[in-house]
Structure 1
Amino acid sequence: MFKVIRRAWRYMVFALSGRLDELSDPRIQIEQAIQEAKEQHQRLSQQAAAVIGNERELEMKLARSLEETEKLQANARQAVLLAEQARAAGDERKALSYEDSARAFASRLVAAETAMGDVQLMHERARQSSAQARAAVENNAMALQKKIAERMRLLSQLDQAKMQEQLNRAMGDLSGLTPAGDTPTMDQVREKIEKRYARALGEAELTSNSVEARMIEVERAAIDVEGAARLEAIKESLARDRKPEVEG
């Protein structure tokens, strides 16, 4: 039972996530991806800054350690010189006192050099870490720039896709493939007109072949013959009227 519930839950999550992907605006998804990349780069830069800051802090410690060792070495040497001068002057007690100071400076010098060696080792490791951090930030910055350039390309491609979809819909409307609402297509209108024209031609053909049409044609022919005869009679009458005038 538990397996069935878990399987159903996974199916529901997958179905809802797929539906969400279909409904999501690609432009918003692109901006979300870019924003996430920027935040990741910011976190990486902050971590790199902490690593580089540690290197700088160790550099300052190393500089202080070097300064301290140089100072201890100079003091130990000065104490030795003073002890030699006191012994040369016959002041053995003073000479021994300077030698004790020299040994104390020497002991402190050894401890300072040991500490400086540890600082140098930590600084070397910090320097390597800083170099890696700088390289990581630079590489990530380049990757971020590529994503920003990719965003411009994708947004342009998205606009082109929308315009192409609008053009496809317009072409579909013009071709009659997708008429809007109850509006008939050009093919339907043409078929309707051709049907009416063909019917009219058929009716005209039937009318011309009917008995009434032939009777009308006969009557019209008789009228034409009678009119022609009447015209000849008029011409002959005019000819007779002109003949006496010619004889006189």
Structure 2
Amino acid sequence: MVKVIRRAWRYLVAALSGRLDELADPRVQIEQAIEEAKEHHRRLTQQAAAVLGNEHELELKYARAVEEAEKLQAGARQALVLAERQREPAEARSYEESAKAFATRLVAAEERMAELRSMHERAAQASARARSAVETNAMALQRKVAERMRLLSQLDQAAMQERLNAAMGDLSGLAPQGDTPTLDQVRDKIEKRYARALGEAELTSNSVEARMIEVERAAVDVEGAARLEAIRKDLHREIGE
């Protein structure tokens, strides 16, 4: 039962995710992707800054260690010089002890200096990798920004083409809305009425009444022609006299 519920839940999540992807605005998704890339670059830059800061901090510590070692070495040398100049054995031993103390602290300082040098070298390598990572990611971000412009332009072209397709569909009558007839339907209706009118005219011209009218009209035309000929003869006769 638990497996069935878990499987149904995964199916529901996948179905909803797919539906959300279909309904999501591509322009908003593009902006979200760019913002996420920018945020990733910002975090990477902050991490790289921390690495470079550690390198600079070690530089300062190493410089102080070098300065401290130089001071201790100078102190030891000065104590030996003073010990050699003293004629009293007790004073000379006192300066000798001071020189030995300086030397002991110098050894510790040199060990610390060597440790800081090693740490600084590793930090410098880490800084180089951090700089390279930031530069590489910056180039990738620039490519994504350029891709964003291309996708937005392509999205605008797609929207324009969809509007054109919709307009052409309306003009061709492929997608009538409501009760509005399409041009094809109006044309079929007009052609049907015209064909019916032609048929009625043909039937009317071939009827008995139409033929009788034509015969009567022909007889009237013959009589009219005969009457015109008689008038013409009378006119010629008057002219001859």
- After TM superposition, the score normalised by the length of structure 2 is 0.94
Q: 1:223, 1:119 → 2: CA distance?
A: 136
Please list the CA deviations of residues 35-86 of structure 1 after superposition, one character each: whole Å capped at 9, or x if unmatched.
1111111111111111111111111000000001011111111211222222
Corresponding letter in the other structure for 1:82: L
Residue from 200, 213, 231 that aligns with 1:203: 200
Please list the CA deviations of residues 157-205 of structure 1 after superposition, one character each: whole Å capped at 9, or x if unmatched.
1111111111111121222222233222222222222222222222121
Any residues of structure 2 matched to 1:11-22 within 5 Å, and which?
A: 11-22=11-22
Corresponding letter in the other structure for 1:192: K
Q: CA deviation at 1:113?
A: 0.5
1:35 — aligned with what? 35
More displaced stretch, 98-107 vs 64-73: 98-107
1:107 matched to 2:104? The reply is yes
1:68 — aligned with what? 68
More displaced stretch, 21-30 vs 166-175: 166-175
Corresponding letter in the other structure for 1:94: E
Identity of aligned residues (%): 75
Any residues of structure 2 matched to 1:149-160 within 5 Å, and which?
A: 149-160=146-157
Any residues of structure 2 matched to 1:1-248 within 5 Å, and which?
A: 1-86=1-86, 90-244=87-241
Q: 2:170, 2:221 → 1: CA distance?
A: 58
Q: 1:38, 1:191 → 2: CA distance?
A: 61
**Unaligned regions of 5+ residues in structure 2, if any?**
none
Please list the CA deviations of residues 184-235 of structure 1 after superposition, one character each: whole Å capped at 9, or x if unmatched.
2222222222222222222121111111111111111111111111112212
Q: CA deviation at 1:23?
A: 0.9
Q: CA deviation at 1:243?
A: 3.3
Determine helix, strand or coil for the equivalent of 1:79.
Answer: helix
Corresponding letter in the other structure for 1:18: G
Please list the CA deviations of residues 12-54 of structure 1 after superposition, one character each: whole Å capped at 9, or x if unmatched.
1111111111111111111111111111111111111111111
Determine helix, strand or coil for the equivalent of 2:174.
Answer: coil
Q: CA deviation at 1:111?
A: 0.8
